[in-house]
Amino acid sequence: MPPRLLNFLFEEQETGILRLSRQGLTKTLYVVSGVPVNAESTSRDETLGRYLIKSGRIREEDYEKSIALMLSQGVQQGAALVKLGCLKPKELYQEVKSHTREKALAAFSWNEGEYHFEAEVGFVEDLYRFEFQFYPLLAQGVLNYLPLGAIERELVRVPLLPLVPADDLLDRIAAFALNQAASAFVIQIDGQKLLPTLCEQAPDPRLAHRLLYLLLLTGLVGPSGQPCREIREVVVEEKAAPSPPAYLFQPTKETAPEVEEELPMEEALGKGQEAILTAYIEIKSLDLFAVLGVGRDPGDPEVEQAYRRQMDEFDRDKFQKNLPAEAEAKLEEINTRLIRAYESLKTAARRQGYLAQLEEASPQRQAQRRLESEKYLQEGMKCVRSRDFARAQEMFEKAIQLRPQEPEYYGYLGWTIYMNPALEEKVRHARAEEKVRMAIQMNPRLDSAHVFLGKIFKDQGRIEDAVAQFRAAVECNPNCREASRELQVYEQSRKGS
């Protein structure tokens, strides 16, 4: 399971890429010295735009406009939202950081699937990286995201011996940033009680299960004081690390041309943390040509001039003297990225090598397919609002053809089938439920699919099943207004009866 993998990587201080795959979806965690610093997901539900809708930062119509801008101008979603005025540039960094943390936490719900970890460091310069504290991240993932059933299946493997805490448990547990109820339970672990007894005597047995798993996983508690191998062990397959392409470098400032300092005294305190963090998000999302602001076929002089211009803009002396540590580190990464860009593009041969790398990776093609499928989804949603369900079904099926691994598309397709009066009732009911359940199976935290299934159950008179789905939707997304409204109606009807 992801918690076991992440704890192992942290204890081993590994740096590399952890890829999790499940039913056509992939989640990628980038780890530096054992701590996740970035995360990617192929799920539409985990894009920046969907995250901002769930957190109430933007509206659905803002999201639709950002998609149109991404298609027309080829910008990323964060930049599109800034252009539209939905986010201020200074807000973008914090929103992307929060979104990255949420994607990493959501990986804890992937208790089934395959994983592969590759030890490498090449990504460190290419991606934006965020500083997260490992133990609070691990604790939040286990306490709030890891399915309780998965935890219970793990705990039955623990030897039936008294659980003995580490001598420094109370000192070390402070790093987990637990709340008062969780901390009070930890104090009850006295080295005499068995795991079942601790859970039975706890005010909240579910919380007790989660906390005991967390403590056993991190070695702060163990059967008879010994590390719990059944919970902690990870099977490692040794593989040789691949060699990096010859045209990629680990540059130092000595290998790049020096930049003359021309800084008026009055600008010495001009720019600060916000400017750095905003530029950091932008520059890390660009390829090396765009980093320097040149086209795909520049000459050597143009590359050097662009490099000098960019290095001058991000010269340390252009910023305030007492920068926060995070901003200081990001400014250094910006300069390293600029040097990397210059070293990789300063000659025609190196430019050709880098272009070949871009073509091989072809993220543009993948992004284009995602945007095209999103266009069909948006068109389908408009058709649903106008009650043209046959046309909506056609749009959602086209979206699935482009991205068959996207759970949300199946949820919308199922709901549209259910609402399409042109289909025979018995057939559409069965097909609709099948598609929506498929979406939930692919992504159990997809609130929209739980809402759709709840509405189907409610329409069929299966009220308790419907309520369970609406509650699941709110658990996945506390800001899910439709599910909250349905639950409010249900509670009012109960009181009325």
- Tell me: do 35 and 158 sit in the same domain: no
Q: Could you tell me if 222 and 228 are in contact, meaning their C-beta atoms sit under 8 angstroms apart?
A: yes
- Regions of the chain short of the pLDDT cut 50: 238-270
Residue 333 is predicted with a pLDDT of 82
Residue 248 is predicted with a pLDDT of 34
Supply 228's token pair.
């719990």
Residue 69 is predicted with a pLDDT of 87
Q: Is residue 96 part of a domain?
A: yes
Residue 251 is predicted with a pLDDT of 37
Q: Cα separation of 351 and 292, whole Å?
A: 13
- Tell me: do 274 and 204 sit in the same domain: no
Q: Is residue 247 part of a domain?
A: no
Count CB atoms within 10 A of the CB of residue 276.
24
Question: What's the sign of the alpha-carbon dihedral 463, 392, 99, 439?
Answer: positive
User: Crossing angle of helices 363-385/389-402, nearest 10°?
Assistant: 170
Residue 361 is predicted with a pLDDT of 55
Residue 269 is predicted with a pLDDT of 34
Residue 31 is predicted with a pLDDT of 93
- Tell me: do 411 and 438 sit in the same domain: yes
Q: Is residue 366 part of a domain?
A: no
Tens digit of pLDDT for each residue in 452-481?
A: 999 999 999 999 999 999 999 998 888 888
Tens digit of pLDDT for each residue in 383-436?
A: 998 999 999 999 999 999 888 888 889 999 999 999 998 888 888 899 999 999
3-state SS track over 434-460: HHHHHHHHHCCCCHHHHHHHHHHHHHC
Q: Is residue 246 part of a domain?
A: no
- Tell me: do 49 and 109 sit in the same domain: yes
CATH assignment of the domain containing 492 = 1.25.40.10
Three-state SS at 425: helix
- Tell me: do 151 and 124 sit in the same domain: no
Count CB atoms within 10 A of the CB of residue 159.
14
Residue 75 is predicted with a pLDDT of 77
> Last residue of a domain, which of 69, 100, 133?
133
Supply 25's token pair.
């979806």
Q: Is residue 432 part of a domain?
A: yes
Confidence (pTM): 0.69
Q: Which domain holds residue 318?
A: 268-361
Q: Is residue 248 part of a domain?
A: no
At 62, which helix (H) or strand (E)? Answer: helix 60-73
Q: Is residue 173 part of a domain?
A: yes
Supply 281's token pair.
């998000």
Residue 242 is predicted with a pLDDT of 43
Helices and strands, counts by H and E, the chain: 25, 6
Q: Is residue 390 part of a domain?
A: no
Q: What total of structural domains would you count in the chain? A: 4
Residue 263 is predicted with a pLDDT of 36
- Tell me: do 298 and 407 sit in the same domain: no
- Tell me: do 119 and 157 sit in the same domain: no
- Tell me: do 280 and 333 sit in the same domain: yes
- Tell me: do 221 and 286 sit in the same domain: no
CATH assignment of the domain containing 328 = 1.10.287.110
Q: How far apart are the first and last CA of the chain?
A: 45
Residue 117, strand partner residues = 18
- Tell me: do 296 and 409 sit in the same domain: no
- Tell me: do 24 and 128 sit in the same domain: yes
CA gyration radius for the chain?
A: 26
- Tell me: do 5 and 107 sit in the same domain: yes
